[in-house]
A and B are shown apart, each in its own frame.
Chain A
Amino acid sequence: MSADQKIRTVLYYVSVSVFLVGLPFILAFSLSYKFDRRSFKFTKTGIISVRSQPPGAGVTIDGERLADKTPLSVTELLPGTHSVTLELEGYYPYARDVEVEGARVSRLEKVILFPLRPDIQQVNKERISLFWTDDARASVYYVNQDENLVYRSDLEGNRFEQLCSFTPIAPLPRKWEISPDRTRLAYFNQRQVGIVELPQGKRKPVFPNTVILNFPSDTINDMFWYADSYHIILICRKRIVICEAREGAGPVTLVNLAKRNSAGFYDPRSDSLYFMDSQEAPDGNTYDNLYRLEMRNRVYPFTLPDFITLKGLEQRMNLLDWRLEEKKDGKKP
């Protein structure tokens, strides 16, 4: 027999031996059995799988600190309750009792460690009274109601700039809202609406001053910009009105509300107005319902300034079937 064949024979028997001896231990490990050297028996144990965010936390089980950091698996745990503590410098510790069953895995994998001293930064660079963000969460708008100024920055507070000044109204505005095309800012209290033209690059505002619209006969509860950024929709106590955002404009009533102080909102994507109102049912009771008013009209006043008129809009809001008639005439709706 050559030397290589002798090596091979030895290797073969060593491999078979390693397989036969190692297999029980591999299977015992896989099935989570622990070999007790004293009793020379296998005991059924369980596993705790620990993961944390951020990883790298030290783990203490039943008062014994483990050498490994998260993520880790703690094997060979006897069935029963085990106290698990996760510690990471600069973070609040996390502690929990975990129930371990034999040949089962208890998962502690959604642990979030919160920092002891959160990293708080001041975003605004000037004195402010209130703030809001635009829908795209791209910009933060700030109002200084003492000095009647509006500021803007990004979410990190960078590019902080004074946007415009505004005419104050009393009592203080309840809500501030930027028009969809980001050219105007509207604010309101119970009786008044203020509208400020925002500067666009080097372009000067069309309205040099704040436009104040007064609504002495009703109480304004909410306000939305219409999709054209030229009209505003006001949810008032007794009605919902739409109004041009210009000096001296008069409101047009879209809905007279049976229910007082009703809630509503305008969805520019579907060009629909949703509002709550009550209605008497055939059984004689009055029920609250949510209604949807399809405005069915997208207008772009900067390109088609005269297309929409309040009268026409009012007709449409009253759901007159004027479109079909115009189509029959061959005219563009």
Chain B
Amino acid sequence: MRILEIAPGALSWSIIAFFVVLAIWKPVYCAVLIIVFDFYWIIRTIYLTTLLLLANRQLAKQRRRPWFRACQKIPAWEQIYQLVIFPVYKEGPDILRPSLEALRHTHYARDRMIVVLAFEERHGPAREYGQILAREYEKTFGDLLVMFHPDRLPGEKRLKGANATWAAKRSKEYFQSRGVPLERVIVSCFDADTCVDREYFGCLAYHFLTVPQPHQASYQPVPVYNNNIWYAPAFARIIETSASFCQMIESMRIEKFVTFSSHSMSFRTLVDIDYWPVDMISDDSVVYWKAFLHFNGAYRVVPLYTTVSMDAAYSSSFFKTLWVQYKQKRRWAWGVENFAFLVSRLLKNRHIPAAVKMRRSFQLLESHVTWATWAIIIGVIGSLPMLLGGRFFAQSAIGYNLPRITGLLFDFTLYASLVWIVLSWTILPPRPKDVPWSRNLVMAAEWLIVPAVIVLLGSTPALDAQTRLMFGRYMEFSATEKTRKVV
């Protein structure tokens, strides 16, 4: 297991070290590899931007569709229960109320919605928060269950997954006591700040009722960070919008698609796979791999082209925001722990074809290693042969052409960012009245800082996470700071 934990970090560092050593000893070879990588990245950017356009077209088309009306045409819809779990740590009513209001205004039968507010018992004001919200929303939904997760249960770490699992187990008892078959329950696990689109549950139920083998699928909406996006600093907006874009692109690559953040799935399946992990930070993706292994590879993620909106992570000052963003991205990058989890279990599984095992393991490893290295290779290592190659390299044709080709890549990134600017506008919420019109221009212009942001917050947090895992310095879950100017 330790070898598998070491592998991604070791591979990332080896790649970086290899390039640095090559830049010193064989700058021409290094330049050749960088040019190959640059060319690959240009092709990849075109490919991914086209996928983004396709995903955006789907989102534009499907988010306007009256899903609940479509859902009502399917007779079985009335038998479906929506279980919505909000694992809460320190968030108070100011964060939770908009999420519950979004549920209240959703186009779905609210009497079929069971909402669980899963507080952490160790957080002092949790009971008070629970009482306030229970009073306000007790008759809004089919039922509102306020639960308090006891601290330090055996085998658990202080993680979101542990809280969600505890809430799911109590919910199972709730449904069984009422004689509701678990097959008829769809569970959605949302971050405390998640505000669903009005058609989310209609869309979810429709897909659940229409896709083949609905219990062998997770349902992934497009996460957007619109709750406070107009008030977030420029680089935080870019990072969060890029995260949304990444998810949209992933939604087009179905064979690689893995659950991320707020998502939904069959409650029966969740119970069968023994819920979310209670000792791993990346519970949102590990739950997918658990289901994947449980069904011997016959498990998939169905993209829902509807949005769930969350808070963009930012704080009171520039550097604090930078730190908050860095920590959040490092936590996301901690998903690299999935590699050891998956491979160790794949080795024991005899039912999944070897080709599938190899492909999924490689895809997972490649995505994390690429995440940790690509921005460093392009932004930093790309210029090393020029700096370290000496006079002979500078006078060579490749030494002359390398900065031109690297410059071409950056120019190309800027052109591509024009597409991203237009697309980012399509997922933006309406501008609040207290935000000046000029912010529109700022939001367009801020994409020019993409090259700087991707070097700073692109690879570094991922490399940090992999290095920590490599040395066995396991991360603790730290909830992202929620800052809202307007609720």
Residues of chain A at the chain B interface (Cβ within 8 Å) = 4-5, 7-8, 11-12, 15, 18-19, 22-23, 26-27, 29-32, 46-47, 49, 73, 103-105, 107
Contact = CB atoms under 8 A, between A and B. Distances in A.
B32 interface: yes
Interface size class of B (residues with CB under 8 A): 20 to 34
A43 to B, nearest CB: 13
A19 B402 contact: no
Interface of B: 31-32, 35-36, 39-40, 43-44, 46-47, 50-51, 54, 58, 252-254, 395-402, 405
Given A4-B252, A15-B47, A27 B36 contact: yes
A306 to B, nearest CB: 64
A32 B58 contact: no
Contacts of B397: 30-32, 46-47, 103-105
B32 A105 contact: no
A49 B47 CA distance: 34
A12 B439 CA distance: 37
B245 to A, nearest CB: 16
Given A5-B254, A8-B252, A30-B402, A103 B46 contact: no
A70 to B, nearest CB: 16
Given A15-B46, A19-B39, A23-B39, A105 B396 contact: yes
The 7 A-B pairs with the shortest beta carbon distances in the complex, nearest first, are: A32-B397, A105-B400, A15-B47, A30-B401, A103-B397, A19-B43, A4-B54
B395 A104 contact: yes
B354 to A, nearest CB: 23
Query: Most chain-A CB neighbours within 10 Å: which of B46, B253, B396, B405?
Result: B396
A12 B39 CA distance: 15
B400 A8 contact: no
B254 to A, nearest CB: 7
B332 to A, nearest CB: 25
A68 to B, nearest CB: 14
B39 A105 contact: no
B47 A11 contact: yes
A12 B47 contact: yes
**Interface residues of chain B: helix, strand, loop or mixed (majority):** helix
A23 B90 CA distance: 53
Contacts, number: 67
Nearest to A107: B395
B396 A104 contact: yes
Contact of B405 (A4, A22, A26, A73): A26
Query: Most chain-A CB neighbours within 10 Å: which of B31, B54, B395, B400?
Result: B400
B400 A4 contact: no
A266 B50 CA distance: 76
Contacts of A46: 397
A7 B53 CA distance: 12
Contacts of B252: 4-5, 8
A26 B39 contact: yes
Given A8-B51, A47-B397, A105-B396, 8 more contacts: A5-B252, A8-B54, A19-B40, A27-B32, A30-B35, A31-B397, A32-B397, A47-B401
B252 to A, nearest CB: 6
Contacts of B58: 4
23 contacts: A4-B54, A8-B54, A15-B43, A15-B44, A15-B46, A15-B47, A22-B39, A23-B36, A26-B35, A26-B405, A27-B32, A30-B31, A30-B397, A30-B401, A30-B402, A31-B32, A32-B401, A47-B397, A49-B400, A104-B396, A104-B397, A105-B397, A105-B399
B94 to A, nearest CB: 40
Nearest to A19: B43
Nearest to B54: A4
B230 to A, nearest CB: 31
A209 B457 CA distance: 78
Contacts of A47: 397, 400-401
Contacts of A15: 43-44, 46-47
A105 B395 contact: yes
B251 to A, nearest CB: 10
Contacts of A73: 400
Nearest to B392: A104
Nearest to A47: B397
B132 to A, nearest CB: 45
Contacts of B31: 30
Contacts of B32: 27, 30-31
A5 B398 CA distance: 39
B35 A18 contact: no
B383 to A, nearest CB: 15
Contacts of B253: 8
A5 B255 CA distance: 11
Given A15-B46, A18-B43, A23-B36, A31 B54 contact: no
A177 to B, nearest CB: 49
Nearest to B35: A30
A22 to B, nearest CB: 7
B5 to A, nearest CB: 32
Contact of B398 (A4, A22, A31): A31
Nearest to B46: A15
B256 to A, nearest CB: 12
Contacts of B43: 15, 18-19, 22
A109 B416 CA distance: 33
A287 B46 CA distance: 80
A176 B396 CA distance: 56
Query: Most chain-B CB neighbours within 10 Å: which of A23, A26, A29, A30?
Result: A30
B271 to A, nearest CB: 31
A165 B202 CA distance: 102
A23 B47 CA distance: 16
Contacts of B36: 23, 26-27
A103 B31 CA distance: 14
A73 B400 CA distance: 10
A8 B254 CA distance: 11
Nearest to B50: A11
A15 B50 CA distance: 11
B480 to A, nearest CB: 32
B292 to A, nearest CB: 20
Contacts of A19: 39-40, 43
A201 B242 CA distance: 68
A31 B39 CA distance: 15
